Structure 1
């Protein structure tokens, strides 16, 4: 497949004979969501990012603990990914992502904090409304789309890991928090992943966006801590299951991470089916070079109701990083093949 070298047109996307600017909702968090947003903003101007709010590490964890707010880090990264490719957009993207680091005083309280996290926190304190604060941040940046939290209350994502003890017997160890869970798979099999509070409300604006979307896209991202949480929150899971939108899952380029050690690509799909049996997908994008057992993967995709689209979507130097233009071309292929 040939890849464009500039912004990709969506002139061919139609519903019936009507040309469309598809309404797309992208779900996830962290670097994975940034990758999908960087691709999708080349395809549509009607774009909403719905972001996980369970991060408890780094700058986000410190601000969350000190001010009892949503962790701003993944929200900041989504806003930065929606910045335009002009001087204004690139400058504000870099400002939002800039982290303070003092060479003079290692104990400086600003060390490690991202400017964007502090800006978002200031807007939340001034407006006393997380959605309004993110809307104002997006307006300042000239973001191509809106960013919404998955929930308006901070969440904790917890789980258990099955591992061998000194007697080679399996023992179950409880893991509390996103930062620890993200590394837990290297010690054993991660199980019983859940959110607390279990009955937390989903963001009303996020639910409405999913209901009205043409496409809902989940992934790529850390499977247990960025992708799965959207299916663990009851209201969000129900919205995803019941929407009339087409649903697309984007696979990761690396499956053997600290979070998912020992799991192949098909096992990633099986995790979603196990935790959210009522959710199906219309399409899955995967890089065939990362799928070691194509037959097993396609069978797992079939159980989710999905058609698999194989595309080369990684950067050319071989790193496990999505290339925005290649990923945009893959999304465009799916949109055209399946339609809205």
Structure 2
């Protein structure tokens, strides 16, 4: 009897611009993809929509849906289209953000809205907002001060000690929690991929939801962290790759990162346009002993793609390494 081989389950957790890059590379592989996306963004069109109609900020979710969709190019271009500033009423809004906001009202929540869009947009795999309500990111800085809101935290340009999330509507004092589908996907995964993305504002907001962090620590899957190539102003200035992992582990109270992908290809100093990519600071320094001290397996090679005078992860190289890791963990 011919039995169809089970596709390995790969769960990618994050937000921001790094997540769609990895998902685009994974969609053509023989894997069952689940993307778990942050809901704590408060900038741009997402922030405006959130302030007006109290929906989960849709920007990161929109980009993930577009990355995994089989829609023709024109349909995706319309979904991603952002009105320019001369369109006063709709200035800055992406059409996809408005569609997600509308469906959130129609379906009484972001989770069911995204499931409807998953079907409508011919999505490869699953897209799960990490929570079914908008969350606020909070930070305590090393000087003892505190701030709320992702954009405020980043703009403060102060050293962050720790972050946590609270519901934006916290009148009843409830604790945010992920829905069962999110937790089940983590516990049943063959590989968990975290990053690349802003450490404090794209990655940790997901892991700071108590049942998500618990599941990531308890899963039997290999947890792979894709370390950023560049440090980020106001978030990770002067941090090494080992510092990134140390902060992740400290926030969850457990050494849960099993493997790290580290780029060792130098970024040409004269190539970077730091005015255009003004959130970037300098290449992340390496501390391989610091990583080994945390029982992390280090995969160090060139993951670099130079594009538009910026330094990015090469989707193909990263995904090929993720597939190698999957193969090795199942041999």
Fold conserved (TM > 0.5)? yes
**1:161 equivalent in structure 2:** 141
CA–CA distance in 1 between the matches of 2:109 and 2:69? 22
**1:269 equivalent in structure 2:** 245
Alignment of 1:1-340 (within 5 A): 20-84=6-70, 88-103=71-86, 105=87, 108-162=88-142, 171-184=143-156, 186=157, 188-197=158-167, 199-289=175-265, 294=286, 296=287, 298-317=288-307, 319-339=310-330
Three-state SS of the structure 2 residue aligned to 1:248 is: strand
Q: Deviations over 1:169-191 (max 9, x none)?
A: xx43322101122233x3x3111
Question: Please, what TM-score do these two structures have when normalized by structure 1?
Answer: 0.83
Deviation at 1:292, TM superposition (A): 6.5
Aligned residues, how many?
Answer: 306
Long gaps (5+) in structure 1: 1-17, 163-170
Query: 1:255, 1:265 within 8 Å by CA — same for their partners in 2?
Result: no
Q: Deviations over 1:29-60 (max 9, x none)?
A: 01011122112212234111101111111111
CA–CA distance in 2 between the matches of 1:268 and 1:150? 22
CA–CA distance in 2 between the matches of 1:255 and 1:266? 13
Three-state SS of the structure 1 residue aligned to 2:265 is: helix
Three-state SS of the structure 1 residue aligned to 2:30 is: coil
Task: Indicate the structure whose relative CO is greater, using CA pairs within 8 Å and at least 6 residues apart.
Answer: 1
Structure 1 pair 127–320 and aligned structure 2 pair: CA distance change class (3 A):
same
CA–CA distance in 2 between the matches of 1:312 and 1:19? 32
Deviation at 1:241, TM superposition (A): 0.8
Give me the CA root mean square deviation.
2.3
**1:166 equivalent in structure 2:** none
Three-state SS of the structure 1 residue aligned to 2:223 is: strand
Deviation at 1:321, TM superposition (A): 1.3
